[in-house]
A and B are shown apart, each in its own frame.
Chain A
Amino acid sequence: DADVTQTPRNRITKTGKRIMLECSQTKGHDRMYWYRQDPGLGLRLIYYSFDVKDINKGEISDGYSVSRQAQAKFSLSLESAIPNQTALYFCATSDERDYNEQFFGPGTRLTVL
């Protein structure tokens, strides 16, 4: 079984809809991250959490919110989706015991029409 899972894997939605992307991990890591990736722009950090009570904004948090429901779960919400949020979204986890290497989920391809 995969250590970091994301649901859904693909989603097509319309402008103005609320969308939630889910991430779960079985690695026992405290740190979790949400990134988006656009062609030619690399990975950009949206939000990150170093433990259940800790939530921090990343480089591009506007238009997004997150919830850390448990150590193993970190959800990303788009309150009112817009077309320029069309992208590939990745969840990742890390832990200082693993040299802070980030382990990625398989990604969610989101299209906002």
Chain B
Amino acid sequence: GQNIDQPTEMTATEGAIVQINCTYQTSGFNGLFWYQQHAGEAPTFLSYNVLDGLEEKGRFSSFLSRSKGYSYLLLKELQMKDSASYLCAVLDSNYQLIWGAGTKLIIKP
């Protein structure tokens, strides 16, 4: 079966750095997405990786290792507004997005 694993919940301090990991086992691979979702709201796109390596976009970076079935999302200079769930999703061989359950990130002052 297809599976995406990420931690259920993480806590970090305002101003710090946090890394959210995602491991996946899917039928094929056509890219990996990270989305941010605030409670009760729609998911919004953060990043897309299809090749190995690091993609940096402002305070957020995303890394991919296809051989290891592994990705992480790195959030720097954390702000209170970063408190949200972070969803990892993989585009499989049928171009279906397979979703992880999400990581709830709690930011403390």
Residues of A within 8 A of B (CB): 40-45, 48, 88, 90, 94, 96, 99-107, 109
Contacts and interface: CB of A to CB of B under 8 A. Distances in A.
Contacts of A94: 97
B40 interface: yes
Given A40-B101, A42-B102, A43-B87, A101 B43 contact: no
Contacts of B41: 106-107
B31 A42 contact: no
Contacts of A90: 42-43
Interface residues of B, number: 21
A106 B42 contact: yes
Contacts, number: 45
Contacts of A104: 42-44
B99 A43 contact: yes
A63 B59 CA distance: 42
Contacts of B48: 99, 101
Interface in B5-36: 8, 30-31, 33
Nearest to A106: B42
Contacts of A99: 31, 48, 50
A100 B91 contact: yes
Contacts of B42: 90, 104-107
Contacts of A43: 43, 87, 99
Contacts of B44: 104
A41 B100 CA distance: 9
Given A99-B31, A100-B30, A42 B99 contact: yes
